[in-house]
Amino acid sequence: MEFYRRRDWSTLGVDLTSIRTPFAIVGAIATRLYMPERVTHDIDLFVHADDRHTLARELVEHGFAKHGELSIGGSTWIGAAGEVLDVIESNDPWARDAIVSANRAPDGSPVIGLPYLVLLKLRASRFQDTADVSKMLGLASEENLDQVREVIAKYQSEDREDLESLITLGRIEFGADDTSVH
């Protein structure tokens, strides 16, 4: 369990500290705060749709070029050294809260909070996203699980039963019962 509780934060390879537009890191990079790190080659940023033009200007100022559109809403950007940023845009009613309430990584980068990361990954419904959710929830404290339950109940209530199943599966995976994972 010590390995599973360890949180590594590798440098991103991209300096995002001077970006003034509110955003939060999502995707595989964000999972580093909630489960053991898994390998990924791109950085996913989550931005409110109203702020997309401001962020685009800042990315160009930082040497990024727009590479294309994302089918889920947003765009892909390539940096001068080949860094890949996927900017995911949302105007969902919870998007600003998700960005404003972001946690801070060891390097100060804003990382979406667990409840909203779970919400995004449940919406994506890909196998890897479901696996990530199960792992993160299996390692989460009861307080964090209650926060996740609250967000899912408010914004995606049809997934409450699936959420509980993923919590149970995550706890089984880590050999934990309801009292030992905190």
Average pLDDT over residues 144-170: 96
Query: Residues 158, 69: one domain?
Result: no
Q: What's the sign of the alpha-carbon dihedral 60, 66, 72, 73?
A: positive
Query: Residues 179, 129: one domain?
Result: yes
Quick: pLDDT tens for 43-78. 899 999 999 999 999 999 999 999 999 988 899 999
Question: What is the pLDDT confidence band of residue 4, given thresholds at 50, 70 and 90?
Answer: low
Phi/psi of residue 110, nearest 5 degrees: -75, 125
Query: Residues 119, 52: one domain?
Result: no
Q: Which domain holds residue 60?
A: 1-112
Query: Residues 37, 120: one domain?
Result: no
111's tokens: 């990382």
Q: Determine how many CB atoms are found less than 10 A away from the CB of residue 125.
A: 10
Query: Residues 161, 107: one domain?
Result: no
pTM over 0.85: no
Instruction: Tell which residue, 170, 128, 126, has the closest CA to residue 148.
Output: 170
Looking at residue 16, what is its pLDDT? 84
